[in-house]
Structure 1
């Protein structure tokens, strides 16, 4: 969990602790006796080590005479949930809704900073490559098969590469050119599409060669939307970062990664090298 999400959980716990004390419960033990909980549960919630459930908040508010604060506390709890969204819950009805959710974020953003060490970023994917990635998502998370609809919704993001006053700064690891989604033909078409789309004046695409000196460890992929939001994807969850100090850290990481990246003709030569690789792939 991010420090921001943990901080929000601790703030919620401190607020609940204040309710307890204001209600005359001088200790967690006294409060536990009234609620029927174990004393350790009260302590874990108040110190942010355990996220309370909706029922926990209802009991807490009723026991402390703060019933009018229940809806506000539920809102705070939902905000914590949004900071750390497990994929199984995020993708419960398929991948399309998640792709739709991204569009308003793209609409509002003027400066995009993207880092992905192993995969071509979503807005730079062509149809075949996107379909192959969503097929893996559906199979791995065992969610409803909406690959076709999710792919179409992802491709909608490309409209923002062409309109509005936006700037896209993308850094990919060279491995992204070789990570095989969909087989030889899909990869050849995706690599050719990269060479084509890189001509856009508002799009800057750099690659970090496999042998380039690194000034920061690669870490997880992340997407920065202006200076207000960073999305970080792990295998289990998507982390939303909106705390200014944490966003500053990601901005510093991005600038450090740029020191290892190559652009222009050097970047295109890396793509052509991957094209030569896949042109011979599976040919015997």
Structure 2
């Protein structure tokens, strides 16, 4: 049976019947606790101080998040990246934006997020596109250990990891990667930089996650996809 986006023995992450209204109109913004955790949209500006401060700020957001839903169509989710993989990804980012090349500091902060998986009652439900297993970040020497880490992560407590097969029929177009923090805050990343969303559009990302999840496989089926990718890396 496919896992759902709610969490057992916890207050449901969300109510699917809730209308798409701006919840800030009648109550304080529940995302306010996260408001200063990461830089706001437009990466080039905050990145001028280097990837280290940006990634440190994002790690603080991850630390303060109890329930997380995430989708990454073509690169490994940040919390599961190995250090060499994270360094390669951030090197590509700074090369694109022409910002300081402190990739070692940024990568160290990024991989530090893994410590929160399975700790403090935190729960993570993450969907990866199969392309994630195939995207050539850093070559085989980087990709093989990264794929092995994903293989191991399938059994980590506190983490539900699904993979959307490349040939799976989709119920929604793939779109950009995103993360939903504690139901109320969405972080979206792309070439343009990062975007933080805390208004009524958060509901759209919940719906997108539900639709993407319909195409995902878990457990042994996900493990088979990772094993296949390893055999061809």
Considering the TM-score relative to the shorter chain, is it more than 0.5? yes
Query: Structure 1 residue 198: deviation in Å?
Result: 2.0
Q: TM-score, normalised by structure 2?
A: 0.81
The whole-number CA distance in structure 2 between the counterparts of 1:194 and 1:252 is 26
Deviating beyond 3 angstroms after TM superposition, the runs of 4 or more aligned structure 1 residues are none
The whole-number CA distance in structure 2 between the counterparts of 1:142 and 1:190 is 26
Alignment check: 8 A CA contact 1:83 1:241 kept: no
1:94 aligns with 2:65: no
Q: Secondary structure at the match of 2:156?
A: coil
Corresponding residue number in structure 1 for 2:59: 103
Alignment check: 8 A CA contact 2:71 2:127 kept: yes
Q: Secondary structure at the match of 1:238?
A: strand
Q: Secondary structure at the match of 1:85?
A: coil
Corresponding residue number in structure 1 for 2:139: 183
Corresponding residue number in structure 2 for 1:53: none
Corresponding residue number in structure 1 for 2:197: 241
Listed as ranges, the matches of 1:20-35 within 5 Å are: none
The whole-number CA distance in structure 2 between the counterparts of 1:273 and 1:103 is 32
Corresponding residue number in structure 2 for 1:126: 82
Tell me the number of residue pairs that the alignment of Structure 1 and Structure 2 aligns. 198
Which has the larger helix fraction? 1
Corresponding residue number in structure 2 for 1:219: 175
The whole-number CA distance in structure 1 between the counterparts of 2:182 and 2:193 is 22
Corresponding residue number in structure 2 for 1:142: 98
The whole-number CA distance in structure 1 between the counterparts of 2:190 and 2:136 is 19
The whole-number CA distance in structure 2 between the counterparts of 1:136 and 1:234 is 13
The whole-number CA distance in structure 2 between the counterparts of 1:91 and 1:197 is 30
Corresponding residue number in structure 2 for 1:200: 156
Alignment check: 8 A CA contact 2:117 2:157 kept: no
Alignment check: 8 A CA contact 1:116 1:221 kept: yes
The whole-number CA distance in structure 2 between the counterparts of 1:237 and 1:149 is 19
Q: TM-score, normalised by structure 1?
A: 0.67
Pick from 83, 107, 113: which aligns with 1:157?
A: 113
* Rg larger in structure: 1
Corresponding residue number in structure 2 for 1:263: 218
Q: Secondary structure at the match of 1:193?
A: helix
Pick from 96, 100, 114: which aligns with 2:70?
A: 114
Query: Structure 1 residue 106: deviation in Å?
Result: 1.4
Q: Pick which of 165-174 and 232-241 moved more.
A: 232-241
Tell me, which stretches of 5 or more residues in structure 1 are unaligned? 1-6, 8-78, 279-284
Query: Structure 1 residue 238: deviation in Å?
Result: 1.1
Tell me, which stretches of 5 or more residues in structure 2 are unaligned? 1-21, 23-34
The whole-number CA distance in structure 2 between the counterparts of 1:107 and 1:233 is 19
The whole-number CA distance in structure 1 between the counterparts of 2:153 and 2:165 is 20
